[in-house]
Structure 1
Amino acid sequence: MSFSIFHNLVINTSPEDVFHAVSQPKHLDNWWTLKSSGKPEQGTEYNLNFTDQYNWFCKVSKVAPNKSFHLKMTISDEDWNPTTFGFDLEEETGSTLVKFSHINWREANHEFKHSSFCWAILLKGLKDYLEKGTVIPFEDRS
């Protein structure tokens, strides 16, 4: 048995803008990571750095420009290692429906529940980044 996190939200911008914000390091660093690297191409490696203690790696497991972007964790903590998270995008009139998933958690433990809460906050940060241009300094992100 595995456990999954799902969040849907509407962002008032194009799927292209959302895709860039979730797949390009220069944008990831504005709403999620301290510093990141990688290219949105199938099988390529991403480095997601939050601190020296949380310097994680993953690989692109699914990519369709302006439609879908998923990363499979390869080096992270014990709870995150078996997981894959991603964004599926559907164009709506003048906006994008973002279907976020973070799947294959081994157990619905504290880390799983905390991560679900944190993703909700981070996705609100993504929405504010794209709709309002808001960049919260890394040290102020929850």
Structure 2
Amino acid sequence: MKLNWGTGIVLAFAGFIGFILFFVIRMSLDDRSNHDLVTEDYYKKELVFQQEIDAMKRAKALTHPLMVERTETGMLIRFPESMSPEKIKGKVSLYRPSNKHLDFDFPISLSNAHLLIPDKRLLDGRWDMTVYWEYDGETYLLKKSFMY
């Protein structure tokens, strides 16, 4: 059987397409490849985005802003002194971009003006922290990334 140029080109295209399809199928079925969105409920979070923007503006407009600092015992979050600690309710969410199994939420229930996140919960690496709190019917939000 004699191969001409047309047959060779068709075989080359068919081989290339087969090669690409093999890798597409292999990567789609491979459990080691993580194809998740950044968060599980991404589209639901998108709907409340404007409320988050307003809450961040309110947090930045405070005369005494929320302070986050690293101490020997962990991350210390200091709430504004002008706010009564008993009236502050909310949560602190810590998100680890490299491993979703390390993510956790920490409820805010204060007796004094600060909240300590223990050092044993935070592994070395990058963390994204979201502090969402409510005080006298107003919501406030602080987003911060840090290396621990």
State if a TM-score over 0.5 links the two structures: no
Q: What TM-score results when the alignment is normalised by the length of structure 1? A: 0.28
Q: Hey, which of these two has a bigger chunk of helix by percent? A: 2
Q: Hey, which of these two has a bigger chunk of strand by percent? A: 1
Q: What TM-score results when the alignment is normalised by the length of structure 2? A: 0.27
Larger radius of gyration: 2
